[in-house]
Amino acid sequence: MNKTLFFSVGEPSGDQHAARLIRALKDRLPELTIRGFGGQEMRRAGCDVDLDLTEHAVVGILEVLPKLREFFGFADQAEAIFAAGGVDAVVLVDFPGFNWHIAKRAKKYGIPVIYFCPPQLWAWAGWRIKKMKATVDHVLAVLPIEEQYFSGHGIPTTFVGHPFFDAVSESSLDQALMQSLQAAAPTPQTVAVLPGSRTHEVHRNWPVMLDAIAELAAANPDARFAVAAYREKHFEFCKATAAAKTEASGQTLPIDFYLGATSEVVEHATCAMMVSGSVSLELMARQTPAAVIYRVGRFLYAFGKCVVKVDSMTLPNLMPEAADSENTGERVFPEIVSVGNPAKAKGFLAATVGRMLCDADYLGQKRRQLAGLQERYAKPGATDRAAEKILELLSPAAGLESRQRAA
């Protein structure tokens, strides 16, 4: 079966999930050709990357608007590839604002569309389900709630599980790095600091986290803070900002900076402060308690209040077993959405992380909650199941291609 898949992936985390999926596909079908939009992880996995879309990841209408012309140009580039022929199916990974356009243009040329890590329409923007039904042929759901939601709206759906748990189970921790972390922070008061994977997230949230670190360091002399940066430019920005704060205040902060070492930092840490994102699933799998922050502009916050249907921005908090089983009145991952003056967010991080560092009973309660979630949901194998389903859908017996042409 000599087939070509086109991937469209815009998020850094999606780049990692897609890379793992590409390897699984090629292991099963070495002659499979894979091209499309993605990032460096996909390139390393054997994808011919036509465009590094992960460099353009944005969130929120105010960030999208200035780039609309650019994104339409990217969609035109994909359409030219579809029009040239030879693409047997399109695989979308997250990034719905842009991937809707890819799906629509693929449909125009009779190309089947498979969505892996689909948009969370069950949580917000439910009105887009009609668009999903019109442009997507099969959903590979990563959360149990998604299978029920999309199937209930008449979209063929297969639950495969979340690929983040594959990353945790398959990755082998760098032992030299683990030793380095232990040498830098030998006390049981190490805080992992995860400032986000998108550049705008890092710029918006890191200064608040840095202020919280300064407050925590003053109150907890034995604490050490391990910052895990996703990209080199984030690493340099965080280091430079911390150096400027030290110069301005005269307070030397106990911070160590790491690049490409999120898993090791999370594994070593006592607890964490983090920007909301899918990395929360890794903290759940590694049973590392965390305080979660997300800074947004006033317009996006007001818009979100109108359309968001769930009461948490952190995925593990939305799992049924995340409900407070010990009557503490708090979710497994305490969180705050910060708008305007960052003082409240800084105080939240300092108070919550400070409690995790100083209150053994509180920390133990969080770890017990995470252990329960980890046992129930952190099951590997999602990538293999997704790869097998995609190849099944590509086979003539599946009828996906003929259904698409008939549409």
Q: Which helix (H) or strand (E) holds 307?
A: helix 298-307
Give the pLDDT score at 198. Answer: 85
The predicted structure's pLDDT at residue 315: 82
φ, ψ of residue 145 to 5 degrees: the values are -65, -30
Assessment of whether the complete model's pTM goes beyond 0.85: no
Query: 5-50 pLDDT, tens per residue?
Result: 999 998 888 999 999 999 999 999 999 999 999 999 999 999 999 9
Residue 302 above 90 pLDDT? no
Please name every residue paired with 158 in a beta bridge, in sequence order, or none if there are none. Answer: 140
* Tokens found for residue 41: 């992880």
Whether residue 122 is predicted with pLDDT greater than 90 in this model: the reply is no
Query: What is the overall mean pLDDT for the chain?
Result: 88
Report pLDDT digits (tens) over 79-116. 999 999 999 999 999 988 889 999 999 999 999 999 99
User: Are 13 and 117 in contact, with CB atoms under 8 Å apart?
Assistant: no
- Contact present, 302 and 285 (Cβ < 8 Å): no
All residues at 6 or more sequence positions from 270 whose CB lies less than 8 Å from its CB, including other chains? 188, 189, 190, 191, 288, 356, 357, 363
- Lowest mean pLDDT, pick from 239-243, 313-317, 338-342: 313-317
List Cβ<8 Å contacts ≥24 apart for 25-30: 25/387, 25/390, 25/391, 27/387, 28/387, 28/388, 28/391, 29/1, 29/3, 29/391
Strand partners, 229: 259
Delimit the domains of the chain by residue range.
4-161+381-406, 171-377
- Predicted pLDDT at 404: 44
pLDDT tens, position by position, 198-253: 888 999 999 999 999 999 999 999 999 999 998 999 999 999 999 999 999 998 99
Is there a shared CATH topology between the 4-161+381-406 domain and the 171-377 domain?
A: yes
Strand-strand pairing, 290-296 and 335-339: parallel
The closest alpha carbon to 239, from 190, 262, 206, belongs to 206
* C-beta of residue 87 within 8 angstroms of C-beta of residue 64: no
Q: Which CATH class is domain 171-377?
A: alpha beta
CATH class of 4-161+381-406: alpha beta
SS (H, E, C) 108-165: HCCCCEEEECCCCCCCECHHHHHHHHHHCCEEEECCHHHHHHHHHCCCCEEECCCCHH
Q: Name the band, by pLDDT with cuts 50, 70 and 90, for residue 311.
A: low
Measured CA to CA, the distance from residue 148 to residue 167 in angstroms comes to 25
